[in-house]
Amino acid sequence: MFASNEHRSLRGVAATAAALALLVAACGGSSTPSAGAATPAPPAATPVSGESAAPAATPVAGYSGPPVTIEYAIWGDPAEINSQKAVVEGFTAANPNIKVDVTVSDWDAYWDRIGTGIAGGAAPDVFAMDGPLGPDYQSRDVLLDLTPFIKDEGYDLGQLDDNAVKDFTTKDGVVFGLPRDLNVVALYYNKDMFDKAGIPYPDDTWTWDKLVEVGKQLTIDTNGDGKIDQWGLYTETTDMENAWSEFVWQAGGDILTEDGTKSALDKPESAAGLQFLQDLIWKDKVMVDPVLVAGGLGDAFELGMAAMEINGSWLVPTHEAAGINFGIAPLPAGAAGKATSVNPTAAVVYAGTKAPEASWMLAKYLASPEAQEKIMALKASVPVNKEILATTYPASFDGAQVFADSLAFAHLKPAFKGYNEFNTILQAELDENVYNAPNKTAADAIASVNDQLNGILAANQP
């Protein structure tokens, strides 16, 4: 699948941090292609905008250079290499002078490999970039500036999801990645468990109160031994994307201030969102104890041990393969209304590639309707191309419409330089004292680390 659920977990933090450390060692690099490479025309003085440019044709052909082989690296399930190769078949068929070697690695191994490749001057020509990590990589001059290509071709960024484009564009208009797909969080529910309990399925009228009410009804000790056999709800607590950031936004809070220079988690509304998740575990007792999950239990919803799950669009094929009779609903609304998380993935081009034109063309192809149809068929992520989002995607499987509609109230998962350090400190505090055990209130936990978080943000301002 394109977006493994491992990429939303702290299991990947150590590897990513190691990769970024290697990038620091490689800071002497430049965004200029290596000697002998065809350098695109310099950018025009006007800023990039998709608003006025004419839509580009499906970008599958047009390469005029010599035969070349480029590598396209992504994270995901290595067993699905054939499906990943199938995505680029249309590109190579139309451009026979370009051979694309597709490589797939688990999340941890992927970032180790990217970091090692960059440090050694031999990174993949094109590789997948997670939104929150993009600014760190871009700031180290290891990603090719795609702005000259966009300007030279009049490529229409307006054909792609606005949030996704924003995530890979700097404040001064440099585009360092073309969005490839989106990950959106929603509410999965087990239809059989709801049917057995005689409870109507979740819908867009649900609120936090309804989630707790139904969660209690579906939390059951089936054999009377004093241990819960079926929980009402499951979600991962080890990353902001899967639940707690959505609760913060639904409560009217935020993770960063509007200008991105300080933490906003110390605001009462933000703390209320974090506290709601703690209460689901320790007060309302409708959610699986995170310690059980960390101890190897795994995805309780997938194992048939939880009636609902808050998680990302990347789990659709996994749940289908597990044979679960499930449905998908929007996340319940909080005091401030509906909110969910959207996290784009982009195709970025290594600054040291010897084939910048071919690499740009592949990145462009991956955002085209032709490739987006293939990405859509994998069901592991939401297409980024607006045409596909508005036409074929919503009816592509039961629940796709929910993901598409949720983009209207989605917030971008924060992406900023220093994200890994910020997230590691914050998540360690939440894990230890808020979610794995109720040692502190959410407000007290944030108070204990907020100065550190602000220090990281201050140190990483341009």
Domain spanning 5-183+343-412, CATH class:
alpha beta
pLDDT of residue 111: 96
- Res 270 pLDDT > 50: yes
Given a cut of 90, is residue 360 above it in pLDDT?
yes
Residue pair 351/32 in contact (Cβ under 8 Å)? The answer is yes
CA distances from 38 to 96, 149, 357, 450 (A): 19, 12, 7, 47
Domains 5-183+343-412 and 184-342+416-459 share a fold: yes
Kindly state the percentage of the chain with pLDDT values over 70: 86
pLDDT at 22 > cutoff 80: no
Mean pLDDT of all residues in the chain? 88
Which H or E run contains 180? strand 178-190
Looking at residue 289, its pLDDT comes to 85
Q: Is 82 exposed, middle or buried (0-12, 13-18, 19+ CB in 10 A)?
A: exposed
Rounded CA-CA distance 343/88 in Å is: 22
- The separation between the first and the last C-alpha atoms of the chain, rounded to the nearest angstrom, is 36
Which band of pLDDT confidence, cut at 50, 70 and 90, is reported for residue 15? very low
Residue 21 has pLDDT above 90, yes or no: no
Predicted local confidence at residue 58, as pLDDT: 43
Region 9-22: what's the mean pLDDT? Answer: 36
Taking 90 as the threshold, does the pLDDT of residue 441 lie above it? Answer: yes
Return the minimum-mean-pLDDT range out of 47-61, 104-118, 321-335, 410-424: 47-61
Classify domain 184-342+416-459 at the CATH superfamily level: Periplasmic binding protein-like II (3.40.190.10)
| Bridge-based pairing state of the strands 126-130 and 68-75 | parallel
Q: Where are the domains of the chain?
A: 5-183+343-412, 184-342+416-459
Give the model confidence (pLDDT) of 179-238 as tens digits.
Answer: 999 999 999 999 999 999 999 999 999 999 999 999 999 999 988 898 899 999 999 999
The arithmetic mean of pLDDT across residues 277-306, rounded, is 88
CB atoms within 10 A of CB 436: 17
* Mean pLDDT, rounded, for 252-261: 96
* pLDDT number for residue 228: 92
Percent of the chain exceeding pLDDT 90 equals 79
> Which tokens is 213 given?
């009410």
Residue 406: pLDDT band with limits 50, 70, 90 = very high
State the pLDDT confidence band at 16, using cuts at 50, 70 and 90: very low
Per-residue pLDDT tens digits for 136-162: 999 999 999 999 999 999 999 999 999
User: pLDDT band for position 295 (50/70/90)?
Assistant: low
- For the segment 244-269, the average pLDDT, to the nearest whole number, is 97
What tens digit of pLDDT does each residue of 32-68 get? 333 223 333 333 333 333 333 333 334 446 788 899 9
Q: What is the pLDDT of residue 8?
A: 41
Could you tell me the CA-to-CA distances from 149 to 167, 222, 312, 354, 460 in Å, in that order? Answer: 18, 61, 33, 16, 29
What pLDDT is attached to residue 294?
61
Please determine, for residue 4, whether its predicted confidence score (pLDDT) is greater than 80. Answer: no
Listed residue (116, 128, 51) closest to 88, CA to CA: 128
Q: Look at residues 186, 146, 148, 152 and name the one whose alpha carbon lies nearest to residue 367.
A: 146
